[in-house]
Structure 1
Amino acid sequence: MKKVFILLAFLSFALHVKSTTHTVHVWDGYFQFLPNTITIDLGDTIQWLPLPGTGAPMMVHTITSDTIPAGAAGFDYTWQSPADTFFRYVPTVAGIYEYVCTPHESYNMVGTFTVVDPSVFVEESATLEPIQIFPNPAKSKIHLNGLNARSQSYTIHSLTGQRVDSGTILNEVDVSHLVRGTYIIELLGEKPKRIKFQKL
């Protein structure tokens, strides 16, 4: 039992050491979160701070979860100046998180952060012949440029590592059946290539 406790403590420390804090600024001058889209690793912290040089926000804002992955903890933080200067959130589930400032949502004060699990997420492979996906994000089909008229086998995985599709591609893949989110398409072969894309 003691060994299990020591192992858990070590893993907890190791995850904490590797985590990063990412900042989103709250700009009430134009009702914006800057940046309004960000990608972070599972275990990282996201924090909201006033935009530098603008002082504390002059009006009430909220940082309210709108659409989040199943199993994720929701958040609804009311930010009132001058006492409140930051809000932090540590996501525990990979996926896409959409949030809003409730009083200013009609002004498009909205944001999104994507949480990827680094144990299953692989960056786009560096190759001599780059493959391009378009449109990205896509609604129904993705087209791949750079396959040199060769058909290739592929698999598509969610950010949690679940295989959601596979087949053979010549230059386009039908993704209309996929739910909205971020995916990785892996082109199989002698030199596998992995490319991230978004489905609307």
Structure 2
Amino acid sequence: MATIGPNELYFLMQGLKWTLALTIIGFIGGGVFGLAVALARTSEAPFARRFTAGYIAIFQGTPLLMQLFVVYYGVALMGFNVDAWVAVAVAFTLHASAFLGEIWRGGIQAVPKGQTEAANALGLHYVSRMKDVVLPQALRISLPATIGFLVQLIKGTSLAAIVGFVELSRAGQIVSNQTFRPLTVFAIVGIIYFLICWPLSLWGASMERRLQTASR
């Protein structure tokens, strides 16, 4: 059996780089579209509420793996030749937007109605009311759940390997096949995931405790 040396560790770090890049793109892109989804879910327009409710139901009711397949192979069936990186980034952005949209929708509706009524009494229009009054409080309320979803998104990037994208888990599989040391390699991969996700989980739990203390 081959040893796991600097070259193998470097290859794993390259996979980690793409895991983090995919997470960042999916989270930021999902955050932008997710905010739009949350605003539509809480709007007074019935069509917008029904449309975004169906959108959320589709992405929350189907496996992420299936969503990756549909985006990757569906785009190819439509005659577009896209790189695996682009397809995976689009799939994760859509996936994250549905979950973040629902999380932030809950945060918006958790803001006391008195805040909105006070903003209306001051004559603030919709944009100012949401930007200056509602959204800062809603995002603070939903921060622990948002961090929890980020942790799930980081771990979910491992599914991108199914369409040929080389992230951390796929890099570990390749190194394992080359060195014939699957236990050692995936122990290293697991430790890397743990070192990324565990501090985020602690941060989310800390934020949740602070919110509970502040609400008493």
Structure showing the higher helix proportion among its residues: 2
Q: Shared fold by TM > 0.5?
A: no
TM-score range, shorter chain: under 0.3
The TM-score with structure 1 as length reference comes to 0.24
Ranked by relative contact order (alpha carbons within 8 Å, sequence separation 6 or more), the top structure is: 2
TM-score (ref. length: structure 2): 0.22
